[in-house]
Structure 1
Amino acid sequence: MSSIVVNPQSEEEFQFISELLKKLGVDSMVLSDEDAEDLGLSILMKDVDRSDFASEDEVMAKLKG
């Protein structure tokens, strides 16, 4: 089954949506901002081109610059 991600714009919207889902009997999970960033990063890492490699010098130059 697919999922839906909702980003409420206020605390009131968050409470309303949470209560609505609970009343409808829909399973839901609250993600922290950090959890959402981790999820996005994992999606990007999954889609990265792994056939292209960078040398250690290139990586260190990017980190320093």
Structure 2
Amino acid sequence: MKKKKVILSLFMAVSVLSLVYLKSQRNGIKSELVLSNIEALASGEDNQIYQCFGIGSLDCPQISTKVAFIRIL
């Protein structure tokens, strides 16, 4: 009888740990999907070519540094 209780409790522990692991894996997939969507929205859809000149206060779209002038080709 005692052996059955030990086996049953071991089985229950493995089952609970398996469920926790699977739940964490599913949440990881959702968060990866959300991060991919955010990245796609943040990247923009413009296909323009920019030329950035000088040092100033404007953000260059291509290299994300401060420049004086931005020329759109």
Is the pair's TM-score, using the shorter chain for normalization, greater than 0.5? no
Higher relative contact order (CA 8 A, sep 6+): 2
Give 1 or 2: higher strand fraction: 2
TM-score between the two structures when normalised by the length of structure 2: 0.28
